[in-house]
Amino acid sequence: MAEASGGYLGAPPQLPEVTGLNNQLSEYLRRFSLWCQGNFNSTLQKRTATGALFMESTTGNTVWQLTIDDSGRLQSTQLLPGSPTSVGSTLTFAPVTGYADSVVTNPAGTTSATYRMMGLNVQLTSVVASAATVCLDGQITNSANNAVTECVICYGTGTPPVNGAAQAGTIASQAARYKATAGGDYVPFSITCLIEGLTKGTTYWLDAAVRAPSGGTASITDLDFTVVGLA
């Protein structure tokens, strides 16, 4: 049997010289310690799957059990040293699981008093995500003095809506609302929202819907539309 040399774990300790200690037992223990070291190193190098990984805090007063659930989320549970008993709640670390981004300079506006889709067609495939954060930035305007423009974020599945189509999908955000102080004036706007309850493996479209409830032509321009999936 080949003896492992000192590696990452270091060389095994030497047995103390004790008068009368059986030489055969001494040799067996020495070889056994080397065998353990070599096989543990081999296991780690092969990255063999294990049910959990245990790590000790820097002070040695706490042990953390690290696991990964079926969605790929990392979970840590605080344990009592030397005991499987947990002493705190499990912390879950949700990774970013996908993203999409679209820059659309000037989608056509609308004179409709009810929401009309802008046709931005940002898509997120929910590989393992169950939620998403969405952000829409740009400029908002109305062609008529004192007229109002309102904008919301919508999402859904199936065929993405085109510009000018009636409001589709689910409204996910509060409305950004602007009342023009002069016809054609514009100001920056930003909408951020969280979408929950997404189905894994489903592709979702995201879009903006705009309306002009008090006249004029309502428009949003210079857009940056981003969605990030969360497990």
Residue 190: inside a domain = yes
Q: Quick one: average pLDDT of 38-67?
A: 66
Residue 8: inside a domain = no
User: What's the pTM?
Assistant: 0.63
- Determine the distance from the C-alpha atom of residue 79 to the mean position of all C-alpha atoms in its chain, rounded to a whole number: 26
Examine the domain organization and report whether 29 and 118 are in the same domain.
no
pLDDT for residue 20: 61
Q: What is the CATH number for 164?
A: 2.60.120.760
- The 10s digit of each residue's pLDDT in 108-162 is 999 999 999 999 999 888 766 688 899 999 999 999 999 999 999 999 999 999 9
**Of 36, 68, 93, which marks where a domain is finished?**
93
Q: Quick one: average pLDDT of 38-62?
A: 64
- The 10s digit of each residue's pLDDT in 69-114 is 776 677 888 877 766 677 777 777 766 667 777 777 789 999 999 9
Residue 1: inside a domain = no
Examine the domain organization and report whether 69 and 124 are in the same domain.
no
Q: Quick one: average pLDDT of 26-37?
A: 71
Range in 15-24, 116-125, 202-211 with the lowest mean pLDDT: 15-24
Number of domains in the chain: 2
Look up the domain containing 125 and give its range: 96-230
CA neighbor of 52 nearest in space, from 88, 76, 80, 87: 76
Main-chain phi, psi angles of 46, to 5 degrees: -80, -10
**Of 93, 121, 155, which marks where a domain is finished?**
93
Beta strand ranges found along the chain (DSSP E): 53-56, 63-68, 74-79, 91-93, 96-102, 116-117, 122-125, 131-142, 148-156, 170-171, 176-179, 186-196, 203-211, 218-230
Q: Quick one: average pLDDT of 26-31?
A: 72
